[in-house]
């Protein structure tokens, strides 16, 4: 399809603008000269309250919506609060998508996650692997909600010709990531552990597993670039995978983090601990055919993220 540029002055609602993804989307839009971004904190607009969302859309009539708001968390959080994960995400999606259609939004992009795919999906994972097998049990509540969001966008497209599209990013990292000692994902967790080991002159850092599993990582600024690209260049039923297309072993990742942090000690692998899924890679060929690919290398992205961590988590400037 031919590109459809977005008017730089059109009202654009970025839902979830304070999160890892939403904040990157805002940075990207602002850098491109978009001047009419509609941003609301949770205290200003609770997306789980249907009447509040509808009032917001009635008053501000956003022309474009990027739905990055979600309740997210790791395995522990998903296991502990399954009712919250399915209910809150379903509420947010339903309210925003319904109000966007009702108030004549031109286009909406819904953001999901690679966890929507079956636990034993083929590798790399193509878009058509969706709903072909059982989900990973530890996050199925979140995954079911996200799958529902994809299907809701498709349903509104089918019944009402509403231009709602969906993008499914791979493992993300970057500024505004969660560096919590227990609840963060593997990359920010490693950055924090190696940094603290360096500062405290600890001789070794123990990392779980064998280091053999392969993972794909995408800098969140690359995702934000892909979001704007899709808004202008894609309109279709099927969701689109967004990844870097590059795999790295957990061992290589740990060595890279050690190098970026400049930690001089040793890495010790605790092979008594679980490895998790051996491989998890997205098939990004569909997005590549449309004309987009990731630009930020893992090393450069890690440097950028470590700098952000030092400035905002270790030594925040109040």
Spell out the alpha helix ranges (H) of 73-219: 75-80, 82-102, 140-160, 186-199
Span between the terminal Cα atoms of the chain, in Å:
47
Spell out the alpha helix ranges (H) of 245-294: 250-261, 285-290
Cα dist. 174→20, 29, 87, 171, 224 in Å? Answer: 7, 17, 28, 11, 11
Active site residue 306: no
CA dihedral 151→240→236→133, nearest 10 degrees, is: -40
* Pairing status of strand 247-249 against strand 214-219: antiparallel
Cβ atoms 63, 101 nearer than 8 A: no
Instruction: Kindly state the tokens that stand for 28.
Output: 């990207």
- The active-site residue out of 64, 117, 142, 234 is 142
Positions marked catalytic: 142
């Amino acid at each position: 399809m031919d590109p459809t540029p977005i008017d730089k002055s059109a009202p654009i609602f970025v839902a979830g603008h304070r999160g890892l993804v939403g904040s990157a989307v805002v940075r990207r839009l602002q850098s491109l000269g978009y001047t009419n971004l509609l941003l609301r904190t949770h205290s200003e607009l609770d997306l789980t309250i249907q009447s509040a969302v509808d009032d917001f859309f009635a008053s501000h009539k956003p022309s474009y919506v990027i739905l990055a708001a979600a309740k997210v968390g790791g395995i522990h959080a998903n296991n502990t609060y399954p009712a919250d994960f399915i209910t809150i995400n379903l509420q947010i999606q339903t309210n925003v998508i319904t109000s966007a259609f009702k108030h004549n939004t031109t286009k909406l992009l819904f953001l999901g996650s690679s966890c929507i795919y079956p636990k034993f999906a083929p590798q790399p994972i193509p878009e058509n692997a969706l709903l072909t097998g059982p989900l990973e049990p530890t996050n199925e509540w979140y995954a079911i909600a996200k799958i529902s969001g994809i299907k809701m966008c498709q349903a509104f497209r089918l019944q009402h010709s509403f231009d709602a599209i969906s993008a499914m990013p791979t493992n993300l990292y970057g500024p505004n990531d969660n560096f919590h000692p227990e609840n963060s994902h593997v990359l920010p967790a490693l950055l924090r552990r190696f940094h603290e080991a360096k500062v405290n002159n600890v001789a070794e850092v123990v990392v779980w597993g064998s280091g053999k599993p392969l993972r794909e990582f995408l800098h969140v600024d690359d995702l934000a670039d892909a979001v704007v690209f899709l808004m202008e260049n894609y309109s279709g039923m099927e969701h689109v995978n967004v990844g870097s297309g590059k795999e790295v072993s957990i061992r290589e990742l740990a060595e890279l983090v050690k190098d970026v942090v400049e930690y001089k000690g040793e890495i010790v692998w605790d092979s008594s601990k679980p490895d998790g899924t051996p491989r998890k890679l997205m098939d990004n060929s569909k997005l590549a055919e449309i004309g987009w690919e990731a630009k930020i290398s893992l090393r450069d992205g890690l440097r950028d993220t470590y700098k952000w961590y030092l400035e905002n988590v270790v030594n925040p400037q109040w």
